[in-house]
């Protein structure tokens, strides 16, 4: 069965650079969620989209932005990167805001 696809899997950026993370949800899933998991931490909800509109907002820094496109894939844009942004970024998707969200394998971002 198709799963949530995230790219890239690993990314190394320097401080103050910009990064773009991509998420391709499971086919026919219209809801996408983004989470950030720092080293040794629990995942923190950043933002979600339903039918290409922003649905809910968590602890997403102002330096970050995201959107969901017409094909339902989503991108998380991160600017002015800081060392503290180094983390595992998960995307999850669900159907019609359903409670069962399926997670991708994550993108590991390292800021040096």
Partner 1 sequence: AQTVTQSQPEMSVQEAETVTLSCTYDTSESDYYLFWYKQPPSRQMILVIRQEAYKQQNATENRFSVNFQKAAKSFSLKISDSQLGDAAMYFCAYRTRGYSGGGADGLTFGKGTHLIIQP
Give the dihedral of Cα atoms 43, 48, 50, 54; nearest 10 deg: 180
List the structure tokens of 16.
Answer: 């103050």
Report if residue 24 touches partner 1, rule: CB under 8 A: no
Q: Which of 19, 23, 92, 109 binds partner 1 (CB under 8 A)?
A: 92
Strand-strand pairing, 19-24 and 74-78: antiparallel
Is the Cβ of residue 22 or residue 60 nearer to partner 1 in the bound state?
A: 60
Q: Per rule CB under 8 A, is residue 33 in the interface with partner 1?
A: yes
* Residue whose CB is less far from partner 1, 8 or 58: 58
Q: Which of 6, 19, 26, 31 binds partner 1 (CB under 8 A)?
A: 31
């Amino acid at each position: 069965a198709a799963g949530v696809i995230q790219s890239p899997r690993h990314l190394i950026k320097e401080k103050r650079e910009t990064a773009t993370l991509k998420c391709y949800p499971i086919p026919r899933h219209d809801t996408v969620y983004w989470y950030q998991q720092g080293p040794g931490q629990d995942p923190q909800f950043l933002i979600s989209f339903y039918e290409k509109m922003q649905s809910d907002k968590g602890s997403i820094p102002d330096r970050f932005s995201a959107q969901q496109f017409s094909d339902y894939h989503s991108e998380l844009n991160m600017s002015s990167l800081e060392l503290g942004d180094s983390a595992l970024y998960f995307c999850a998707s669900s159907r019609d805001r359903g409670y069962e969200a399926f997670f991708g394998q994550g993108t590991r971002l390292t800021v040096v």
